[in-house]
Amino acid sequence: MSKKFKFASAAAGAAVLIATGFTGGAASAADTEQASQDCKPAHLCLWEHTGYSGWKIVEWAPLHSEDTYELADTALHRASSVQNNSHLPVLLYSGRAGNGMFLCVTAGGASADLAELGFADKATSMKAYDPGYC
């Protein structure tokens, strides 16, 4: 199953976007299906380990574009896999309050191993955007 992601880094006020196709890597289709079931409908979930395993760090239901979420101090820089069952694309940010490098997880997007996208253990905040944003 192919999922689309965008990764960017802000430098001097300009963002550079790189669009990549991503296939769930080491996770099988069954693992991705299990993650989808373990993450409630209309929610975005982050897990501590790859393969949607370990502590479920976040189970967040973004309702509107511009909704934001700050990870708890105990969850900072711990996310290694993600499933977005919401209808909105969500940007994971490496800094607080939507700052720093970010990874866009499209509606329905998933990654069993954020390291493959260069974003393992980086998430500190998240923000939802309008459908089609990324």
- What are the tokens at 97? 């309050």
Q: Residue 129's closest CA among 111, 112, 105, 108?
A: 105
Which DSSP category does 126 fall into? Answer: E
Q: Which domain holds residue 60?
A: 2-128
Q: Give the C-alpha separation, 97 to 79, whole Å.
A: 17
55 part of a folded domain: yes
Q: Is residue 67 part of a domain?
A: yes
55, 72 in Cβ contact below 8 A? no
| pTM of model > 0.85 | no
Total domain count, the chain = 1
- The predicted pLDDT at position 31 comes to 55
Assess if residue 133 is contained within a domain: no
Domain membership flag for residue 134 = no
Output the pLDDT for position 19. 29
Q: Which residues of the chain have pLDDT under 70?
A: 1-36
Cα separation, 23 vs 112, whole angstroms: 9
CATH classification of the domain holding 33 = 2.60.20.10
pLDDT tens readout for residues 57-89: 999 999 999 999 999 999 999 999 999 999 999
Q: Compute the distance between CA of residue 87 and CA of residue 100 in angstroms, rounded to an integer.
A: 24
Taking CA atoms, 53 is separated from 44, 46, 66, 112, 120, in Å, by 15, 9, 28, 9, 14
Asked, for residue 20, whether it belongs to a domain, the answer is yes
pLDDT for the residue numbered 108: 94
